[in-house]
Amino acid sequence: MKDTSLPTCTAFIGSKRVAFGTYDEVARTLATLDLSAGGLLVFDDATAAQVDPPWPPGHPAPPADDARRAAPAAAPQVGRPRMGVVAREVTLLPRHWAWLAQQPGGASAALRRLVEEARRTHADRDGWRQAKERAYRFMSAIAGGFEGFEEASRALFAHDAEAFARCIADWPADVQAHLAWLARDAFAPETAAPSA
C-alpha cells in the first residue's frame, strides 16, 4: 500500500500518461524511458502545477505557484516555533486594529480564530474553487490546443458537469481520466453550489 502522505505527481509524454505516484517513483520510471523526443510534462497531483525533473530524491521541487507565493523565512527568534507559529506582516486599517485589540487574547489570537472560522465556513466553496483551478491548470498545459478546450473551460467555471463531460469526450483517454480525477470535487450538487 502506498504512503499517501508523500507528495505525488503524474507524468505525461504528449497526451499519454507514462508514470504516476510519489516523486521518487515517477523519477525511477522516467529514468527507464527514452525522453529524447521531448513532450514530457509532469504535474503535481495536489495543485496540477507543472514541475520539472530532475528533483532531488524525496524532495520534490515546489510547484511554480507555491514558489511565487512563498514568503521569506522569519528570523529564528520570531514567533513560537514549538507551536508552529510564523510571524508575518499584516496591514489593517486603524479601526480593524482597534477592534482586534479589544478581543480576548489580543490581535494574534483573534486573527487565528477568525481564520479558523472562515476555513470551516468556506471549506466546501474553497474545495470547489481549488478543484476547478487544478483542472484548468492541467487543461491549459496539456489540452490548450484540443478541440473543445474553450467550451470545456467555460463549462468547468460555469459549474456544468454535463457540458464539461461532453466537451472532453473526444480527448485522449489518459487526459480525460486525469482531468476527471483532478476535477472530481469541482462539481457539487446544484443545491450546494457555491455562489459566484
Write the pLDDT tens digit of every residue in 134-172: 999 999 999 999 999 999 999 999 989 999 999 999 999
Residue 63, pLDDT score:
52
63-80 pLDDT, tens digit per residue, is 554 444 445 554 555 555
**Cβ atoms of residues 183 and 165 within 8 Å:** no
The residue ranking higher by pLDDT, 153 or 97, is 153
Q: What is the end-to-end Cα distance of the chain in Å, rounded?
A: 40
- What mean pLDDT is reported for the chain? 81
Find how far residue 161's CA is from the centre of its chain: 20
Residue 185, pLDDT score:
85
pTM exceeds cut of 0.85: no
**Helix, coil or strand: residue 41:** strand
pLDDT tier at 52, thresholds 50, 70, 90: confident
Residue 98, pLDDT score:
85
Residue 106, pLDDT score:
81
57-66 pLDDT, tens digit per residue, is 556 655 554 4
Cell 525533473: give the residue.
53
Q: Domain segments of the chain: what residues? A: 8-68, 123-192
The residue ranking higher by pLDDT, 88 or 48, is 48
Residue 190, pLDDT score:
46
pLDDT tier at 125, thresholds 50, 70, 90: confident
Q: Where are the alpha helices (DSSP H) in the chain?
A: 23-31, 64-69, 94-101, 106-121, 123-143, 149-157, 161-168, 173-182
